[in-house]
């Protein structure tokens, strides 16, 4: 990030906190034993591992035995869904309910399961990206084995009614998984109170290290292995534990949860300032729910421009942002999330996601508003589409 001074891509990944980095260091060359070894170096590592497990469980409202360490959010999503599918298949229940706006780690796993003979119902969301508990209830059939609905959307920041959906699933006796990768460490999550059976989280989305995450599975929900081998993680996830990363994750999560209320308040104020500033741009629309929204998420579509050009010019101005169309494969398809909330292709292509962190300042927000205004008007000035819109040859979609 040589020339990047303002980092507004915290939904993609975050900078590690000092506390998390320091929590990792002793486990590289001090306590470096294998937690499975019987000697005291191994046992010191095993104790640290157990300690991390208990601290993470305390943050989520569950017990240490319900925590399985994974390589991140994607692996946790894959294992959660495949485990529920395997449990369902044994009872002849082969239907899974989810939404159209899930992360690809969920959607692609579901696609695979469809090829393997499962039926998948993907619920529509409303224009703000919300699914209702009633929709979930109506979709549940006798052969449903799993409901998987993300806690908060990574693109548009919408927070789903997880507590209510958890209640519906528990009442109907269907397992409930939530991809809470964007939520944990940012908004309050309590797996017990919210009747969540399976939950995925990832450390690098809350200032912890990359390549480590957690799958919470309520006691009694048997996991199936994605990775076979040794007996680590109660036999459910083989491979020598990444202890430094796990220690960093525990520290980052505790820190995020301890400062959550204060941080959310600050971020919400900055977020709203940014939203208000960008609304001054004509023919712009906010994506995602105005209220039920992650504290640090801003996502807009600007008519008549391309998200990619916007990103490059913002990068030149020292701002790291993201666009809905810039998906990992570099594909030109617009975001499935923006399409699901009803944006047409042309509009979805002109999207901009700005995601804040505790380090974001009011000056950053002021500078960003100014920069986006300049870049949008510069790009529109060069756009034939914009010329047609201006001259009335074409009608505005965003009024």
Ligand X SMILES: *Cc1c(COP(=O)(O)O)cnc(C)c1O
Catalytic residues: 327
Q: Which residue, 55 or 353, is less far from ligand X as judged by CB?
A: 353
Binding pattern to ligand X, positions 211-250, x when CB under 6 A? Answer: --x-------------------------------------
Contact status: 72 vs ligand X (CB under 6 A): yes
Q: Which residue, 197 or 303, is less far from ligand X as judged by CB?
A: 197
Minimum distance from residue 207 beta carbon to ligand X (Å):
13
Q: Which residue, 209 or 304, is less far from ligand X as judged by CB?
A: 209
Phi, psi of 200 (to 5 degrees): -110, 140
Listed ranges 44-52, 70-78, 132-140, 271-279: which one lies at the site for ligand X (CB under 6 A): 70-78
CA–CA gap between residue 104 and residue 153 (Å, rounded): 12
Minimum distance from residue 353 beta carbon to ligand X (Å):
11
Listed ranges 122-130, 179-187, 262-270, 389-397: which one lies at the site for ligand X (CB under 6 A): 179-187
Residues in 76-95 at the binding interface with ligand X, rule: CB under 6 A: 77
Strands 284-286 and 297-302: antiparallel
Residues in 131-170 at the binding interface with ligand X, rule: CB under 6 A: 150, 154
Contact status: 202 vs ligand X (CB under 6 A): yes
Contact status: 103 vs ligand X (CB under 6 A): yes
CA–CA gap between residue 160 and residue 50 (Å, rounded): 32
Contact status: 186 vs ligand X (CB under 6 A): no
Minimum distance from residue 42 beta carbon to ligand X (Å):
27
Minimum distance from residue 244 beta carbon to ligand X (Å):
16
Count the site residues for ligand X by CB under 6 A.
14
Q: Which residue, 82 or 103, is less far from ligand X as judged by CB?
A: 103
Give the contacts of 334 (CB within 8 A, at least 6 positions apart).
324, 325, 343, 345, 348, 349, 351
**SS3 at position 283:** coil
Residue located via tokens 């729910």: 289
Quote the tokens at residue 259: 């400062």
Give the contacts of 158 (CB within 8 A, at least 6 positions apart).
101, 125, 128, 129, 130, 152, 288, 289, 292, 293
Q: How far is CA 61 from the centre of its chain?
A: 20
Minimum distance from residue 110 beta carbon to ligand X (Å):
13
Which spans in the chain are helix H? Answer: 18-24, 26-29, 40-60, 73-90, 104-115, 133-139, 162-172, 243-258, 260-279, 307-316, 336-340, 345-348, 362-382, 384-391
Give the contacts of 378 (CB within 8 A, at least 6 positions apart).
313
Residue nearest to ligand X (CB): 73
Q: Which residue, 242 or 383, is less far from ligand X as judged by CB?
A: 242
Candidate list 24, 113, 175, 181; residue touching ligand X; CB under 6 A: 181
Minimum distance from residue 89 beta carbon to ligand X (Å):
24
- Output the DSSP codes for 158-215: BBP-HHHHHHHHHHHT-EEEEE-TTTTTTS---TTTTT-SEEEEEGGGTTS-SS-EEE
Q: Which residue, 77 or 289, is less far from ligand X as judged by CB?
A: 77
Minimum distance from residue 374 beta carbon to ligand X (Å):
30
Listed ranges 66-74, 298-306, 309-317, 319-327: which one lies at the site for ligand X (CB under 6 A): 66-74
Candidate list 14, 68, 74, 148; residue touching ligand X; CB under 6 A: 74
Candidate list 83, 98, 178, 182; residue touching ligand X; CB under 6 A: 182
Contact status: 194 vs ligand X (CB under 6 A): no
CA angle 19, 153, 60 (to 5 degrees): 45
Please choose, from the candidates 338, 297, 29, the residue with its C-alpha nearest in 3D space to the C-alpha of residue 151: 297
State the burial class of residue 19 (Cβ atoms within 10 Å of its Cβ: 0-12, 13-18, 19+).
Answer: middle
Residue located via tokens 């109506």: 138
Minimum distance from residue 71 beta carbon to ligand X (Å):
7
Listed ranges 34-42, 176-184, 237-245, 254-262: which one lies at the site for ligand X (CB under 6 A): 176-184
Give the footprint of ligand X on this chain (CB under 6 A): 72-74, 77, 103, 105, 150, 154, 179, 181-182, 202, 205, 213
């Amino acid at each position: 990030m040589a020339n990047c001074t303002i980092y507004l891509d915290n939904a993609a990944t975050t900078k590690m906190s000092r506390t998390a980095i320091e929590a990792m260091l002793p486990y590289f060359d001090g306590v470096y034993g294998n937690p499975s070894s019987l000697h005291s170096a191994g046992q010191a590592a095993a104790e640290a591992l157990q300690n991390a497990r208990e601290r993470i469980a305390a943050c989520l409202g569950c017990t240490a035995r319900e925590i399985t360490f994974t390589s991140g959010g994607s692996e946790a999503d894959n294992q959660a869904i495949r485990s529920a599918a395997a449990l369902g298949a044994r009872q002849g229940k082969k239907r899974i309910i989810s939404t159209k706006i899930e992360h690809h780690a969920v959607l692609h796993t579901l696609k695979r399961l469809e090829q393997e003979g499962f039926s998948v119902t993907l619920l529509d969301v409303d224009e703000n990206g919300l699914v209702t508990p009633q929709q979930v209830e109506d979709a549940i059939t006798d052969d449903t084995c799993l409901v998987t609905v993300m806690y908060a959307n990574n693109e548009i920041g919408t927070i789903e009614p997880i507590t209510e959906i958890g209640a519906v699933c528990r009442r109907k006796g269907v397992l409930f998984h939530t991809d809470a990768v964007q939520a944990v460490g940012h908004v309050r999550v309590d797996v017990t109170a919210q009747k969540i059976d399976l939950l995925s989280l990832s450390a690098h989305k809350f200032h912890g290290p990359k390549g480590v995450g957690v799958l919470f599975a309520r006691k009694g929900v048997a996991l199936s292995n994605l990775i076979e081998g040794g007996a680590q993680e109660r036999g459910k996830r083989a491979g020598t534990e990444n202890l430094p990363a796990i220690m960093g994750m525990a520290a980052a999560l505790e820190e995020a949860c301890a400062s959550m209320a204060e941080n959310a308040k600050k971020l919400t104020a900055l977020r709203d300032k940014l939203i208000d500033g960008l609304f001054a741009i004509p023919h712009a629309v906010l994506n995602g729910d105005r209220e039920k929204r992650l504290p640090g998420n801003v996502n807009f579509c600007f008519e008549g421009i391309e998200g990619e050009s916007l990103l490059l010019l913002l990068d030149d101005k020292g701002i790291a942002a993201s666009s809905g169309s810039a998906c990992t494969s570099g594909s030109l398809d617009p975001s499935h999330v923006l399409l699901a909330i009803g944006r047409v292709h042309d509009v979805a292509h002109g999207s901009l996601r700005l995601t804040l962190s505790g380090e974001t300042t009011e000056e950053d927000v002021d500078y960003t508003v100014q920069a986006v205004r300049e870049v949008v008007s510069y790009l529109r000035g060069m756009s034939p589409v914009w010329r047609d819109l201006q001259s009335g040859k074409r009608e505005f979609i965003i009024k």
